[in-house]
Chains A and B, each alone.
Chain A
Amino acid sequence: EVQLVESGGGLVQPGGSLRLSCAASGFTFSGYWMHWVRQAPGKGLVWVSRINSDGSSTSYADAVKGRFTISRDNAKNTLYLQMNSLRAEDTAVYYCARGPCDYWGQGTLVTVSS
């Protein structure tokens, strides 16, 4: 059974940093691109970032470019999102999703507030 479990969310002050993790199981993690998608409270889905299967290629939404870094450890079957210089508008539930977005994690809430 495919499982994606996010962790690392929480309350952080503006300007602070947070690292999200997404533990994958039930499939060959190293064979899939992975995505991060976020959803602000009461709002729609917004794509954040993606990484290819071996980690050699990444893309970011303009809103997070230069502040967020996506990475992966295929030996640990884990996807990461390093978030720096956080802003109030980054407050959202962050989901990781497998390749064609066919499987999603349950999400982890990031709240940026003083």
Chain B
Amino acid sequence: QSALTQPASVSGSPGQSITISCTGTSSDVGGYNYVSWYQQDPGKAPKLMIYEVSNRPSGVSNRFSGSKSGNTASLTISGLQAEDEADYYCSSYTSSSTLVFGTGTKVTVL
């Protein structure tokens, strides 16, 4: 049950696009289309941003998009805004019928 691997930090200027990667194995990310992404502000509960690899819940900006290739999933934020500054986590269903989260990525808007 090792955590999925994410970069510790990603930064970008307002208006730019950034991509956060989430690398697992064939027993989690690569084996199922059940990858989700969460945004977490300090002291707050996580908020679901993407589910089932690329689907956006109602109310989430279309500037957020998700994809997957092999054992790596990605979250792209386009048109970066100051309000996007937060921690982001991925998660995946696993072959053990459990969930595993990523190590987390701090997004900084320069």
Contact = CB atoms under 8 A, between A and B. Distances in A.
Question: Is the A/B pair a real complex?
Answer: yes
Interface of A: 35, 37, 44-47, 50, 57, 59-62, 95, 100-107
A105 B45 CA distance: 7
B110 to A, nearest CB: 23
A101 B89 contact: no
26 contacts: A37-B101, A44-B89, A44-B101, A44-B102, A44-B103, A45-B38, A45-B40, A45-B46, A45-B89, A45-B101, A47-B98, A47-B99, A47-B101, A59-B96, A59-B97, A59-B98, A61-B1, A61-B98, A95-B45, A95-B46, A101-B36, A101-B91, A102-B57, A104-B47, A105-B45, A107-B45
A59 B98 CA distance: 6
A52 to B, nearest CB: 9
Interface string B37-66: 010100001111001000001000000000
Contacts of B104: 44-45
Contacts of A100: 36, 48, 51
A37 B104 CA distance: 14
Contacts of A50: 97-99
Given A45-B40, A45-B104, 16 more contacts: A37-B101, A44-B101, A44-B102, A44-B103, A44-B104, A45-B91, A46-B3, A47-B91, A47-B100, A50-B98, A59-B97, A101-B36, A101-B91, A102-B51, A104-B46, A105-B45
Contacts of A57: 97
Nearest to B101: A45
